[in-house]
């Protein structure tokens, strides 16, 4: 009689990435992107939350970034050091992540993040980016393209704008005319995607409200994922200098909204 085949056992690569439990959920529920194919996807908008900089979770995260910068660690898993309640309090990362120039792998598994700051572009050693199951994280800053060594990523792509499985629409971006007179240091994140925009995503020059231009572009940012990137530019020339978008996605930088025609949903780009 032949032996019974042994069941295949798969390791859980995220077993040590979720952080401690506790009372309550570590993240808020998000219904921005519809996953049911039988219903049409409605318009999308940026999350409006501002980071509470007095929250214990935020204060602890600032400490963890400083510790990681000081010891030069190559793997940074800040959320495992936070309680469930503290993880829920963190909706973005601090600009001080620019100090993490030795980090090769940034793990943000199961986060409550709604945005990543442009300072991620200063993490020059970054090779792997893992915000997996961060279901409220629908887009990324264009500055992530400055991470020249980024080769691997694990992103819940069903949750991002323009994903090929569902093609949810991108939020409508403000026009250049509406930027005139705005205080770029105090913006509504529900409109602009950030509470402040200081430098150009393309040339890194200072951005003034009168010159601010925004655009969406979908690009390969690693060997695994095409991600929707938000560009904050200081001029039309910088928008014109953007690379050609990934094949199978909108082939020009665009302003989002329901009027943007995307490729057919469900067809995986080559």
The confidence score (pLDDT) of residue 24 equals 67
Q: Determine the Cα–Cα distance for residues 224 and 269; give it in Å rounded to an integer.
A: 12
Are the C-beta atoms of 239 and 270 separated by less than 8 Å?
A: no
The confidence score (pLDDT) of residue 222 equals 84
Is the pLDDT confidence value at 21 over 70?
A: no
Mean pLDDT of the chain: 91
Confidence of residue 179 (pLDDT cuts 50, 70, 90): confident
Is the pLDDT confidence value at 9 over 50?
A: no
Where along the chain do its domains lie? Answer: 56-240
| pLDDT one-digit tens code per residue, 57-92 | 999 999 999 999 999 999 999 999 999 999 999 999
Q: Determine the Cα–Cα distance for residues 194 and 209; give it in Å rounded to an integer.
A: 14
Q: What pTM did the predictor assign?
A: 0.90
Per the listing, tokens 């893992």 go with: 130
Q: Which residue has the higher pLDDT, 7 or 171?
A: 171
Beta bridge partners of 230: 141, 216
What are the helix (H) ranges across 116-201?
176-179, 189-192
The confidence score (pLDDT) of residue 103 equals 98
Q: Which residue has the higher pLDDT, 100 or 208?
A: 100
What are the helix (H) ranges across the chain?
56-71, 84-88, 176-179, 189-192, 236-240
Nearest to 168 by CA among 31, 37, 34: 34
Three-state helix/strand/coil letters over 34-66: CCCCCCCCCCCCCCCCCCCCCCHHHHHHHHHHH
The confidence score (pLDDT) of residue 1 equals 47
| pLDDT one-digit tens code per residue, 126-153 | 999 999 999 999 999 999 999 999 999 9
Q: Which residue has the higher pLDDT, 194 or 179?
A: 194
User: 191-219 burial by CB neighbour count: b if 16+ within 10 A, else e?
Assistant: bbbbbebebbbbeeeebeeebbbbbbbbb
């Amino acid at each position: 009689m032949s032996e019974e085949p042994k069941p295949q056992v798969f390791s859980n690569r995220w077993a040590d990435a979720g952080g401690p439990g506790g009372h309550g959920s570590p993240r808020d529920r998000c219904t921005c992107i519809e996953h049911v194919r039988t219903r049409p996807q409605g318009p999308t908008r940026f999350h409006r939350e501002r980071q509470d900089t007095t929250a214990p979770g935020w204060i602890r995260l600032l400490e963890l970034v400083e510790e990681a910068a000081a010891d030069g660690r190559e793997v940074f898993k800040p959320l495992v050091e936070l309680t469930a309640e503290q993880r829920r309090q963190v909706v973005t990362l601090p600009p001080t992540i620019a100090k993490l120039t030795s980090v090769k792998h940034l793990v943000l598994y199961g986060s409550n993040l709604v945005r990543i700051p442009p300072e991620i572009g200063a993490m020059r050693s970054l090779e792997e980016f893992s915000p997996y199951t961060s279901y409220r994280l629908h887009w990324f800053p264009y500055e992530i393209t400055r991470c020249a060594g980024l080769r691997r990523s694990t992103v819940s792509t069903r949750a991002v704008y323009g994903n090929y499985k569902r093609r949810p629409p991108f939020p409508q971006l403000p026009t250049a005319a509406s930027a005139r007179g705005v205080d770029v240091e105090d913006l509504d994140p529900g409109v602009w995607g950030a509470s402040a925009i200081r430098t150009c995503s393309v040339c890194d020059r200072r951005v003034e409200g009168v010159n601010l231009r925004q655009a969406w572009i979908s690009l390969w940012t690693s060997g695994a994922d095409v991600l929707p990137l938000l560009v904050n530019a200081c001029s039309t020339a910088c928008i014109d200098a953007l690379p050609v978008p990934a094949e199978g996605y909108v082939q020009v930088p665009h302003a989002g909204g329901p009027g943007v025609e995307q490729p057919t949903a469900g067809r995986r780009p080559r």
